[in-house]
Amino acid sequence: MGASWSKNHLPLDGKTVLITGASDGMGRAAARLVASKGANVILVARSVEKLEAALVELKAAALRPDTQRFHYLTTDVSKPDYAAPLLASAVAWNDDKPLDVVWCVAGTSRPDFWIEAPLSLTRTQMDINFWGSAEMAHAILRLWCGADAPVVPEPKHLIFTSSVLALFPCIGYGPYNPAKGALRALADTLAQELEVYPQNVKVHIIYPASIGSPGFARENMTKPEITRIIEEGDPVSTPDAVASSALRGLESGDYAITTALLGHVFRWGSLGGSPRNNWLLDTLMACLIPLIWIFALPDVYGKIRKYARSHGHPSTYRGKAIEGFAEHQDPATDVGKSD
Ligand SMILES: NC(=O)c1ccc[n+]([C@@H]2O[C@H](COP(=O)([O-])OP(=O)(O)OC[C@H]3O[C@@H](n4cnc5c(N)ncnc54)[C@H](OP(=O)(O)O)[C@@H]3O)[C@@H](O)[C@H]2O)c1
């Protein structure tokens, strides 16, 4: 569980990496980054047009353009049973050799008041953000950890992409938070379960804070004003910065990786039974962070209560944001205004 600082725990030169959600935002940045480290990369998303464009960037970023190989596969990760056939195609493209790294990035956030929004929104958010990664994890771990799978010294890596919202759920993300929280529970469980297999497979989970991505621009269209008030002042990182920060954590051998100061604070404040990156630092900070909450949490609740006093019932103001969003609606989050 503990990281050592001297060794690169995720050498990528010559390895094959599959990334979901690789046609935009953080996933696309992560794909460029792993290509620059010498990896062969398989991009996964739905839009062929965006995948073609990402492929061009990968070739430009490659460490060894003459020998590295790049490929894309299209799928909708929210569909049941998508992962096993997708992995079969990926392995066939990889000359029938097992993949080395699978990084689940595909996800999307559609903020709203949980009570006002139809419950179907939480289901579709769960389908993409939880099941999209869980299906992939189940399929790849069955390949890597099967009774006939080779036992090799060099580890395989499964990487989940959650959100800081799994560590500090915030008003306005009710339809989204549960999926990212469920990913945390799954990753923490798998960290234990993988110990019973002879194969060497590592699981990691990334908790990004705000990323200035196309997805972020979309989520801002329906974000309740009170959510913006709570988030005011939170720095928005570029997809490249978040991908770099995530990769640094992976190279250090960390299990749980936060990519911004706020994320580090939230992680220390909610360690519970999660695996530790560094026993000394994590334990020390876990003792200190509750002192910060003495001041921070009343501030958050104070803002929410003040907003409620001046704005009345959410049903009176929520509709305007939703109508604005309808013109730019992502089919994957296609839900009506009410049940
Ligand atoms: N943006 C933030 O502020 C933020 C903060 C914390 C965590 N995160 C998480 O970080 C990850 C990346 O976020 P981002 O904002 O960089 O994403 P983004 O810009 O919205 O890009 C999302 C990627 O996922 C793909 N995708 C979406 N739905 C899909 C589906 N049903 N099947 C297959 N692919 C799908 C998209 O491609 P297609 O549309 O072509 O399929 C695209 O490549 C997500 O898991 C997100 O939840 C984001």
Q: What is the pLDDT of residues 216-247, one digit of tens each?
A: 999 999 999 999 999 998 999 999 999 999 99
Task: Please check whether residue 9 lies inside any domain of the structure.
Answer: no
Give the mutation target among 20, 46, 72, 74 for probing the ligand 1 site: most ligand atoms within 8 A of CB. 46
Distance, CA of 85 to CA of 254 (rounded, Å):
30
- The one catalytic residue in 156, 180, 202, 223 is 180
Task: Please check whether residue 2 lies inside any domain of the structure.
Answer: no
pLDDT of 326 strictly over 60:
no
> Tokens 């503990």 sit at which residue?
2
Task: Please check whether residue 126 lies inside any domain of the structure.
Answer: yes
Q: Report how many domains make up the chain.
A: 1
| Average pLDDT of the chain, as a whole number | 92
Cα of 108 from ligand 1 centre, angstroms: 5
Tens-place pLDDT, residues 49-107? 999 999 999 999 999 999 999 999 999 999 999 999 999 999 999 999 999 999 999 99
Judge whether 219 and 29 are in contact, CB under 8 Å: no
Tell which phi-psi region holds residue 96, choosing left (phi > 0), alpha (psi between -120 and 50) or beta: left
> Tokens 């404040």 sit at which residue?
269
Q: Is 180 a catalytic residue?
A: yes
* Cβ–ligand 1 contact at 26 (below 6 Å): yes
SS3 for 259?
Answer: coil
Task: Please check whether residue 63 lies inside any domain of the structure.
Answer: yes
CATH number at residue 122: 3.40.50.720
SS3 for 152?
Answer: coil
What size, in residues, is the chain?
339
Q: Is 176 a catalytic residue?
A: yes
Judge whether 277 and 256 are in contact, CB under 8 Å: yes
pLDDT of 198 strictly over 70:
yes
Task: Please check whether residue 7 lies inside any domain of the structure.
Answer: no
pLDDT of 5 strictly over 80:
no
Task: Please check whether residue 6 lies inside any domain of the structure.
Answer: no
Cα of 62 from ligand 1 centre, angstroms: 23
Q: Which tokens is 223 given?
A: 């974000």
Backbone φ and ψ of 17, nearest 5°:
-120, 130
| pTM exceeding 0.85 | yes
Task: Please check whether residue 335 lies inside any domain of the structure.
Answer: no
Sheet holding 70-74, edge to edge: 70-74, 40-45, 16-20, 101-104, 156-161, 201-207, 256-258
Nearest CA to ligand 1 atom 46: 107
Tens-place pLDDT, residues 267-305? 999 998 899 999 999 999 999 999 999 999 999 999 999
**What range does the domain containing 144 cover?**
16-328
Any idea what the Cα angle at residue 18 is, between residues 12 and 19, rounded to 5°? 105
Cα of 107 from ligand 1 centre, angstroms: 4
Task: Please check whether residue 35 lies inside any domain of the structure.
Answer: yes
* Cβ–ligand 1 contact at 107 (below 6 Å): yes
pLDDT of 331 strictly over 60:
no
